[in-house]
Amino acid sequence: MAWPNGGWRSSLGGQAIRAVVLLSGGLDSATLLRLVGSSGYTVYALSVDYGQRHREELGCAVRLAHEAGVADHVTLSLDLARFGGSALTSAAIPVPKNGLATGIPVTYVPARNTVLLSLALGWAEALGARDLFIGVNAVDYSGYPDCRPAFIESFQRLANLATRAGVEGGEFRVHAPLLAMSKAEIIRTGLRLGVDYGLTRSCYDLDAEGRGCGICDACRLRLAGFAENGMRDPAPYRGGGG
Amino acid sequence: MAWPNGGWRSSLGGQAIRAVVLLSGGLDSATLLRLVGSSGYTVYALSVDYGQRHREELGCAVRLAHEAGVADHVTLSLDLARFGGSALTSAAIPVPKNGLATGIPVTYVPARNTVLLSLALGWAEALGARDLFIGVNAVDYSGYPDCRPAFIESFQRLANLATRAGVEGGEFRVHAPLLAMSKAEIIRTGLRLGVDYGLTRSCYDLDAEGRGCGICDACRLRLAGFAENGMRDPAPYRGGGG
Q: State the Cα–Cα distance between residues A39 and A34, nearest whole angstrom.
A: 8
CB atoms within 10 A of CB A7: 9
Check residue B80 and give its pLDDT.
86
Is there a contact between B83 and A122 if contact means CB atoms under 8 Å apart?
Answer: yes
Suggest the residue from B114, B121, B132, B168 to mutate for an interface test with chain A (most A CBs closer than 10 A): B114
The answer to whether the CB of A76 falls within 8 A of the CB of B79 is yes
What is the nearest CA distance from B69 to chain A, expressed in angstroms?
19
For the segment A7-54, what is each residue's pLDDT rounded down to a tens digit?
444 344 555 799 999 999 999 999 999 999 999 999 999 999 988 766
Q: In the prediction, which pLDDT does A51 show?
A: 80
Q: What is the pLDDT of residues A172-225, one digit of tens each?
A: 999 999 999 999 999 999 999 999 999 998 887 888 888 999 998 889 999 999
B73 pairs with which residues across the strands?
B45
Mean pLDDT estimate for chain A: 84
Confidence label for A82 from pLDDT (cuts 50, 70 and 90): confident
CB within 8 Å: A85 and B125: yes
Q: Considering only the top CATH level, what class is B16-186? A: alpha beta
Contact residues, chain B, for A48 at CB < 8 Å: none
Q: What angle do CA A111, A115, A121 make, to 5 degrees?
A: 145
Q: Does A146 reach chain B within 8 Å, measured CB to CB?
A: yes
Q: Over its length of 242 residues, how does chain B's per-residue pLDDT go in tens digits?
A: 334 444 444 344 555 799 999 999 999 999 999 999 999 999 999 999 988 766 788 999 999 999 999 999 999 999 888 887 666 566 665 655 654 445 556 566 788 899 999 999 999 998 989 999 999 987 765 667 788 889 999 999 999 998 877 667 679 999 999 999 999 999 999 999 999 999 998 887 888 888 999 998 889 999 999 999 999 999 999 976 55
Flag if A108 and B164 touch (Cβ within 8 Å). Answer: yes
Residue A24: per-residue pLDDT: 93
Q: How would CATH label the architecture of A15-203?
A: 3-Layer(aba) Sandwich (3.40)
Burial B31-69 (b: 16+ CB within 10 A, else e): bbbbbbbebebbbbbbbbebbbbbebbbebbbebbeebe
pLDDT of residue B8: 47
pTM, 2 dp? 0.87
- CB–CB of A154 and B151 under 8 A? no
Tell me what pLDDT residue A224 has. 94
Task: Name which of B146, B109, B120, B110 is nearest B47 in CA terms.
Answer: B120
**Is A184 in the B-facing interface, judged by CB distances under 8 Å?**
no
CB-based contact B126 A83, cutoff 8 Å: yes
For chain B, the distance separating the N- and C-terminal CA atoms, rounded to the nearest angstrom, is 26
Q: What is the per-residue DSSP string for chain A?
A: ---SSTTSGGG--SS--EEEEE--SSHHHHHHHHHHHTTTPEEEEEEEE-S-S-THHHHHHHHHHHHHT-SEEEEEE--GGGG---TTT-TTSPPP-SSPPSSS-TTPPTTHHHHHHHHHHHHHHHHT--EEE----HHHHTT-GGGSHHHHHHHHHHHHHHSHHHHHS---EEE-TTTT--HHHHHHHHHHTT--GGG----SS--TT--B-S-SHHHHHHHHHHHHTT----S-BTTS--
Given this model, what pLDDT does residue A107 score? 60
CB-based contact, B73 to chain A, within 8 Å: no
What are the pLDDT digits (tens) for A105-144? Answer: 656 678 889 999 999 999 999 898 999 999 998 776 566 7
Q: What is the predicted pLDDT for the residue at A172?
A: 95
- Provide the pLDDT for residue A8: 47
Q: What is the pLDDT of residue B137?
A: 85
| Confidence grade of residue A100 (pLDDT, cut at 50, 70, 90) | very low
Residues of B in contact with A147 (CB under 8 A): none
Q: Does B207 touch chain A (CB under 8 A)?
A: no
Q: For position B19, what pLDDT does the model report?
A: 98
More confident residue, A91 or B45: B45
- Best to test chain A binding among B132, B158, B172 (most A CBs inside 10 Å): B158
**What's the confidence (pLDDT) of residue B146?**
80
Please write down the HEC assignment for all residues of chain B.
CCCCCCCHHHHCCCCCCEEEEECCCCHHHHHHHHHHHCCCCEEEEEEEECCCCCCHHHHHHHHHHHHHCCCEEEEEECCHHHHCCCCCCCCCCCCCCCCCCCCCCCCCCCCHHHHHHHHHHHHHHHHCCCEEECCCCHHHHCCCHHHCHHHHHHHHHHHHHHCHHHHHCCCCEEECCCCCCCHHHHHHHHHHCCCCHHHCCCCCCCCCCCCECCCCHHHHHHHHHHHHCCCCCCCCECCCCC
**Residue B164: which of A79, A104, A126 has the nearest Cβ?**
A104
Say whether A104 and B80 touch across the interface (CB within 8 A): no
Inter-chain residue contact B145 with A163, CB threshold 8 Å: yes
Q: How far apart are CA A147 and CA A5, in angstroms?
A: 14
pLDDT of residue A5: 42
State residue B194's pLDDT score. 93
- CB-CB neighbors (< 8 A) of A45 in chain B: none
Q: Which of A52, A76, A79, A164 to mutate to test the interface with B (most CBs of B within 10 A)?
A: A164
Nearest chain B Cα distance for residue A16, angstroms: 20
